[in-house]
Amino acid sequence: MTKTIAVAGKGGVGKTTATALFIRYLVEQGARAVLAVDADPSSNLHMLLGVPLEGTVGDTREEMLQEVQASLVQGGAAMGLAAGMTKADYLDYHIRTLISEGDHVDLIAMGRPEGPGCYCAVNHNLREVIDAVGGAYQYVVIDNEAGLEHLSRRTTRDVDAMFIVSDPTPRGLITAERVVELRDEVAVNIKNTWLVLNRVVGAIPDSLLARIEKIGVPLLGDIPYDEALIALEMEGGTIMDLPLDAPSYQAVAAMAGRALKGG
| pLDDT for res 119 | 46
Mean pLDDT per 10-residue section of the chain, whose length is 263 residues: 91 93 97 90 89 84 70 53 66 84 90 58 64 87 77 68 95 91 83 96 94 95 96 94 97 96 65
CATH classification at residue 36: 3.40.50.300
Distances (CA, A) of 137 to 1, 2, 76: 8, 6, 37
pLDDT at position 240: 95
151: enclosing H helix or E strand: helix 149-152
pLDDT of amino acid 134:
85
CA distance 60 to 63: 5
Q: How high is the pLDDT of residue 168?
A: 95
> Three-state SS across 112-135?
CCCCCCCCHHHHHHHHHHHHHHHC
Q: What pLDDT, on the 0 to 100 scale, is given for residue 73?
A: 55
How many whole angstroms separate alpha carbon 78 and alpha carbon 70?
9
- Single out the residue of 224, 168, 223, 216 nearest to residue 194, CA to CA: 216
Strand order of the sheet with strand 193-200?
Answer: 100-101, 106-109, 34-38, 139-143, 3-8, 161-166, 193-200, 219-224
Range of the domain at 21: 3-259
Whether 43 contacts 107, CB under 8 Å: no
Number of domains in the chain: 1
Q: Give residue 253's identity as a one-letter amino acid code.
A: A
The DSSP element (H or E) to which 163 belongs, if any, is strand 161-166
Q: What is the DSSP string of 209-257?
A: HHHHHHHSS-EEEEEE--HHHHHHHHTT--GGGS-TT-HHHHHHHHHHH
pLDDT at 156: 59
Can you give the pLDDT at residue 10?
A: 86
In sign, the C-alpha dihedral spanning 134, 135, 136, 140 is: positive
Residue among 26, 48, 5, 7 at smallest CA distance from 240: 48
pTM above 0.85, yes or no: yes
SS3 181: helix
